[in-house]
Chains A and B, each alone.
Chain A
Amino acid sequence: MEVVRTEDATRSFKAGKLETSALRGVSVSIESGEFTALVGPSGSGKTTLLQLLGCLDQPTTGRVFINGQDVSRLNRNQRADMRRTSIGFVFQFFALIPTLTAYENVEMPLLLAGKPPEERRTRVQELLDSVGLADRADHRPDQLSGGEQQRVTVARALAGGPTLILADEPTANLDTANGEQVMTTMTRLNQETGVTFVFATHDPRVVKFARRVITLQDGLVVNHNAQVKKG
């Protein structure tokens, strides 16, 4: 089943009279359960494409579909609802709220979704356990290592029960061992939960985890299936 599809999506940015095209007509389709890497050099449009797929931004032209729904022209609140119900994010920086504990960070999407306390408690414990941080639940981000923080982010991304998780350079700020651990965790969760993972990277050590690679260059997809690795 198709989770994400873009149809000739473009994204241009204006700076004064200067217009820059970050994406110049991208059409891709990603099926449920895929573990896909977006690769390409800096400025190739990886992050911009992830932002369109994540309903964080909207295409200048073309269309983006999430779970069959055209999200290209949704308003801000509708996009927020789409993100809350269907999409999880893992960012390059350790995107946790510093005043909240690991538990509370993971709980946040469930709170936003209005889940009852008991359901939240069970789900958060389950998720922290699944990323190996059950014993770090009461720690705040500044009491966790970079790798642990990123795993909390992964747990949070899964909290709302999304069909798609988008990760932008998830290991860029981690050392090799921690980066490996985060990717292993993501791979395992992809296999266990069947949630679709799409991550942008230019690190070959990360690309090797992908079962499908989409290569971008100068805002265009130049290869849909550069590498297929059986997990």
Chain B
Amino acid sequence: MIQLLKLAYRDLGRNRRRSFFSALALGMGLGLLLLMAAVVDGEYRGSMESTIRLESGHLQVRSASYDESKASLAWEDLVENPDGMAAQIATLPPVEVSTPRLFASGIVAVGEETDAVRVIGIDPSSAANAPFSDGLVFGDFLTADDREGVLLGLPLAERLSLQVGDKVTLLINTSNGEVDQQDFIVRGLYSTRTPSYDDRTVFLPLAKAQAITRTENHASAVLVLLHDRQQAEAVASALQGAGLQMVTWEKANELLLDTEEFAAAYMTFLYLIVLGITATVIVNTLVMAVFERTREIGILSAIGMRRRRIMAMFFAESGLLGIAGIAMGLVIGGLLVAYATIQGFYIGDMGVTGIMLGDTIYAHLTLEDTLTLTLLAFVITLLAALYPAWLAARMEPVDALRAGQ
């Protein structure tokens, strides 16, 4: 085996430039795949994190009859005494923070301009609202007793030409099915760097939101953040009670999870295409080697080398090219991924609905992806040797010896 590898190494060294570029082709292919895998994983990871952080939490406790798509404000569809419930949930060890939220649909009106928005009543003091308080770009964050303040997303404010201190009219659905309207002062502008969210979400203090929607002491859900999201099912089971429904982050983000699964299958297809292209370079290199060394194959065959060993010789060359290419790929891919992890790719507002995409995608490369792609690249490189090896092994020694004469 060592002799075979030694022979293969020297054979590759005959045309160093060609061998180098063949390995480089594989390296670039692998590097590209590592980057692709890292970007896709980073995109989904970021999207999931954003969704959990901004919208779903790890768990939401809702009234059994609450239908998210209708954003009902009828009392029977809401959770009663949400502050008490949140405080009780917060005592559970796996729970990091628990806070009530009231969701209502509304319209922001400024002069002639109007825009449909989602109004969320929050407890401003809760740590669960850190993404909004930390993301404050202008003005102040809300306070629990603020009766006139509203917090707007930066893109929405820019579109409506609103600044901190400006007056804005909010039309909101109420629990009895009517629409109420009230003027508010823009207290602050926030950015979660998730354009699709910031563009359509305004915040009110929970008490004010309850007052204007006439939902007194009710909330749409109690949002729960856990120390470990894998505990969601266990906590949901512990909280399960009559008249309540538990919506875990997995259930709330089924679409995203399904999309991720579909993307994984799609990416596998792409991986195979990219590696298939690089494999053709390896095939070409080895086929050329077979034709250049036809007489030598004849000599080896004449001195008793069996077909299997002749094939093994080309597999060894392919394997060495694969190892060199993979080493290059890990370096190239590592550098690309490092850049994309630190700097990210700015994509702005992609206009995607249903999935919360941040304005910047940060790559995230997992060890599993690295190992899978490395192994896949190596296997495909070995498979690339199949045809050249077969070509070499099927040569009749007499014909091979005659080559070049």
Contacts and interface: CB of A to CB of B under 8 A. Distances in A.
A174 interface: no
A19 B243 CA distance: 94
Contacts of A180: none
B251 interface: no
Interface string A68-89: 0000000011001101110011
Contacts of B214: none
A80 B401 contact: no
A160 B14 contact: no
B3 to A, nearest CB: 5
Interface string A43-67: 0000000010010110000000000
B398 A57 contact: yes
Contacts, number: 64
Contacts of B304: 80-81, 83-85, 109, 112-113, 160
Contacts of B11: 99
Nearest to B9: A99
Contacts of A156: 303
Contacts of B307: 76-77, 80
A69 to B, nearest CB: 15
B13 A56 contact: no
A89 B398 contact: no
B302 A56 contact: yes
Given A97-B299, A99-B11, A99-B14, A112 B305 contact: yes
A144 interface: no
Interface in A107-126: 108-109, 111-113
B300 interface: yes
Interface residues on B, range: 20 to 34
Nearest to A91: B401
Interface in A149-202: 156, 160
A112 B299 contact: no
A97 B302 contact: no
A137 interface: no
Interface string B269-311: 0000000000000000000000000011001111111110100
A100 interface: yes
Interface residues of A, number: 28
B305 A99 contact: no
Contacts of A100: 7, 10
B397 interface: yes
A100 B295 CA distance: 15
A111 B303 CA distance: 11
A51 B398 contact: yes
Contact of A83 (B13, B14, B302): B302
A56 B397 contact: yes
B7 A95 contact: no
Contact of B299 (A88, A95, A113): A95
Interface string B372-386: 000000000000000
A77 B305 CA distance: 9
Contact of A112 (B14, B303, B397): B303
A112 B309 contact: yes
Contacts of B3: 111
25 contacts: A51-B398, A56-B302, A56-B398, A57-B398, A77-B306, A80-B304, A80-B306, A83-B304, A84-B303, A84-B305, A88-B303, A89-B303, A91-B299, A91-B302, A91-B401, A93-B295, A99-B10, A99-B11, A100-B7, A108-B300, A108-B303, A111-B3, A112-B304, A156-B303, A160-B303
Interface of B: 3, 7, 10-11, 13-14, 295-296, 299-307, 309, 396-398, 401, 405
By Cβ-Cβ distance, the 7 closest A-B pairs, closest first, are A84-B304, A99-B10, A83-B304, A95-B299, A80-B306, A57-B398, A56-B397
